Structure 1
Amino acid sequence: MARDKYGVEHDPDCYPGTSVLINHLNLRDDAALSEAEIVLTLAASETLEFQLPPYDFTYLKRLHHHLFKAIYPWAGKVRSTDISKGNTRFCTASRIEPEGERLFRQLAKQQWFANASRSQLISDVAEYFGELNMLHPFREGNGRTLRLLFEHLIINVGFEVDWTPIHQEEWIEANIAAVDCDYTKMAMIFDRCIGE
């Protein structure tokens, strides 16, 4: 059997013999499912109200559930399958919860960036985004969920955020660099996205 986009063979989250994730819409085509995800998560994000801290790992799971509940039966649940993308192996499934809790405890100690200057905020969010992305806690939809979380974090400390200046290739490059704890490219992206 061919491997799916996350390097998993015989994936229990996919329809048998395919790389298409089992979904409420019963779509069996990757392109159709991707298109449905875009439409439905955009609609879901527009109904989500901004919330003040505390932001914790449970909050991240709630965001994912809100975005993907119309699409996937496992929306908001931490993945149970180990996955990789290209040469990047994401966090082992058994370590996602403890590592996620640890990162959010660190965020809480920093009061969710409440006292950070803009330059410190850019540096901090670049690092935390990279770390949380390496968790890849969900089977699908990690990027969208993390961007929503970081919108809340950034807006909470009084800054605006606009993702439109990002090009997909540079976003992928920044996330790949963050695997090796090089957050320079990610910081450059956040510098363009975070307003005054």
Structure 2
Amino acid sequence: MTFDPFGDFETEGYLRNSLKLKDPVEVKESEHLSFEASIEDALAHLAKKRSIDYQAILKTHEILFAGFYPWSGKDRNELVPHLAVFKGSKEDPHHTPFERPELIKRSVEYALELAANKKRFRERPGEVMGQLAFAHPFLDGNGRTILLVHMELCYRAKFAIDWSKTNKDAYLRALSDEIRDPSRGHLDDYLKPHVVDISSREEWPEVIGGIKGLDGLDKEGIVYANLDNPDIQQLYETYRTQPIK
């Protein structure tokens, strides 16, 4: 892992984890143990909220990952406001830029606004998921946090996604396409065949436990760059043609 936004990998491990682990396999295992141990608490938190807002999402992340990341529940704008984050490769580090740190909250709130139109949301579930993924609020744990939030939003709109029928690679391809080219139906087309009637919240921990790889955008190929870089500024000016309303 080369993603070291704090600049203290040698002393604090990957992303300042509580065990100071550096080995990628050990990090992934310990991080996921924290997630699995906290799923029910996180889902209960979301279920109790009268409305899902940005603070509810931050708290969900904190509940899920406080056992491993001391900074859990804090977004990128609070932790590393000077850094832009991308999913790409060393050869093409600007392949998929995520939202600028100072616009994360606004980006998430736009997704929640889209989900509030329940009829539209059922027709376009991928649009909401894509917008949440593009916001990429956290340094890690985005995919899993967003999954729980999306499930709760779907429940409130009286439908569900049958995640057991989805395919990791196909889903991630559609999600990446949605992030690069939003609101054009890339992820809607993939998810809509899996839309089913509402399911009981009691089934969710088991459902989530059976989903493999939906956190794939969290780590694979993640790189970062300083927002002061003129090339990075130009990239953000030209990347997305559809502004947040």
Task: Tell me the TM-score normalized by structure 1.
Answer: 0.80
Question: Is the partner of 1:82 in helix, strand or coil?
Answer: strand
In the alignment, which residue of structure 2 is the partner of 1:20? 14
Are residues 1:98 and 2:106 paired? yes
Question: Is the partner of 2:196 in helix, strand or coil?
Answer: coil
Are residues 1:62 and 2:49 paired? no
Give, in angstroms, the shift of residue 182 of structure 1. 5.5
Give, in angstroms, the shift of residue 3 of structure 1. 4.5
In the alignment, which residue of structure 1 is the partner of 2:171? 171
Give the alignment's Cα RMSD to 1 decimal.
Answer: 2.5
Are residues 1:39 and 2:49 paired? no
- Picking from 66, 71, 82, the partner of 2:68 is 71
CA contact (8 A) 2:84 2:101 kept: yes
The runs of 5 or more residues in structure 2 that have no matched partner are 89-94, 198-245
Distance (whole Å) between structure 1 residues aligned to residue 96 and residue 12 of structure 2: 22
CA contact (8 A) 1:126 1:183 kept: no
Give, in angstroms, the shift of residue 195 of structure 1. 1.3
Q: How does 1:136-151 map to 2 (within 5 A)?
A: 136-151=136-151
In the alignment, which residue of structure 2 is the partner of 1:153? 153
Task: Tell me the TM-score normalized by structure 2.
Answer: 0.66
Q: 1:27 to 1:183 in 2, by over 3 A?
A: farther
Question: Is the partner of 1:54 in helix, strand or coil?
Answer: coil
Give, in angstroms, the shift of residue 21 of structure 1. 1.9
Q: 1:18 to 1:92 in 2, by over 3 A?
A: same
Q: Which has the higher strand share?
A: 2
The one-letter code sitting in structure 2 at the alignment partner of 1:67 is L
Question: Is the partner of 1:164 in helix, strand or coil?
Answer: helix
Question: Is the partner of 1:84 in helix, strand or coil?
Answer: strand
Give, in angstroms, the shift of residue 157 of structure 1. 2.2
CA contact (8 A) 2:125 2:192 kept: no
